[in-house]
Amino acid sequence: MKIPKTMTGCIWYVSGFQRPWEAAVIGNLAAAMNASGFPPQVYVEGGTGNLRMNGVLSWDSLTLFDRLSIIFFRGNLWHLWGKAPFWWGLVRLRARTVHTALDASPDWKGHPTRLFAEQVLEGESLVKPTFEIRVAWAKDSTEDADASSVLLLAASPTDALKKAVERSGMETISLAEGETASIADLGNGRAALVDDTPSNALLAAWATMQGLPVVARPSPLIRSLLGRDGCFTVKEDTEDAWFSALEAARSEEGRTVSAGARRFLKENFSAAEGAESLAVLYRSIGLKAGGKRESGGGDGA
């Protein structure tokens, strides 16, 4: 990657991406940048644990003097993840800014970037997410799935889906908005059922890394992360269609599909590719050696 090691002053400010599988993607990308020799300083609104990396600071824990000093004097490049704080305009007066969001129609507060190629519009850039490989089947592969199997539910259940889940005898762990969960919870399941949203597509990728097969309605976002055959797609909202997909997911076929999806993720969303996508992005907004700006470069202000 062609970002010089002498470049300094990159600050990441995380005010969205609060769900564990969202924050973990940012943590992985920051770790990838650290390994490349271009470490950002990461500040987070609220708790720092979900980023799963060292060196992250809680913005809320800083003194007012610390915050003002950082806002007015530190960083020639700021990368906003999520929603802009009320003081963000002060940063934009003096520094190049990049903004990454999951929302369908965000109010951009810097050079606009997405995590999914399917969402990128003209003038926007792509940052490739990266996922840590972790395969953790709770049971030996020779054991048969049974009525005690656990379904991680991150979808709005229709009547047909509710009946299929009840018919399958699977217990459920709800990962709905506002529910408490962690990446570790994914290792407690046998399958994951998700909706077609950016957040749930990231969840599907993390579930796959934990060895869980994914069940979902047709989803371009999930397909982009897991590959064409990386999950069990339910095309019709009927009890039989959902039940068949759930049964297949917790069978040996589910292990095979999940393994193929993990290979796809490893080959297409590596840490090196994530770091390189950020390097390309930062170069495109006009930064050069020493953290200085190039005249006329980019859309960062």
Query: Domain for residue 81, yes or no?
Result: yes
Q: Is residue 36 part of a domain?
A: yes
Sheet holding 10-14, edge to edge: 57-58, 41-44, 10-14, 77-81, 96-100, 111-114, 125-126
Same domain, 275 and 255: no
Full domain range(s) for residue 30: 10-130+270-291
In a domain? residue 75: yes
**Residue 266 · residue 133 · CB < 8 Å:** yes
Q: Identify the band that residue 62 occupies on the pLDDT scale cut at 50, 70 and 90.
A: very high
Query: What average pLDDT score do residues 258-278 get?
Result: 94
Same domain as 52, residue 33: yes
pLDDT of residue 260: 96
Neighbours of 1 (CB within 10 A): 17
Which CATH number fits the domain that encloses residue 181? 3.40.50.2000
Residue that wins the pLDDT comparison between 182 and 153? 153
Q: Does residue 167 sit in the same domain as residue 220?
A: yes
Q: Are residues 118 and 168 in the same domain?
A: no
Verify that 101 and 211 share a domain, yes or no: no
Residues 121, 14: one domain? Answer: yes
Same domain? 285 vs 239: no
Query: Which residue is it, tokens 């010089």?
Result: 4
pLDDT tens figures, 86-134: 999 999 999 999 999 998 889 999 999 999 999 999 999 999 999 975 4
Residue 105, pLDDT score: 87
Cα end-to-end distance, the chain, whole Å: 24
Number of structural domains (the chain) is 2
Is the domain of 261 the same as that of 275?
Answer: no
Enumerate the β-bridge partners of residue 257: none
Confidence class for position 85, pLDDT limits 50, 70, 90:
very high
- Are 81 and 181 members of one domain? no
Question: Which of the residue ranges 78-87, 145-154, 288-297 would you say has the lowest mean pLDDT?
Answer: 288-297
- 28 and 125: one domain? yes
List pLDDT tens digits, range 224-257.
999 999 999 999 999 999 999 999 999 999 999 9
Are 258 and 286 part of one and the same domain? no
Structure confidence at residue 4 (pLDDT): 38
Task: Answer yes or no: do 22 and 122 share one domain.
Answer: yes
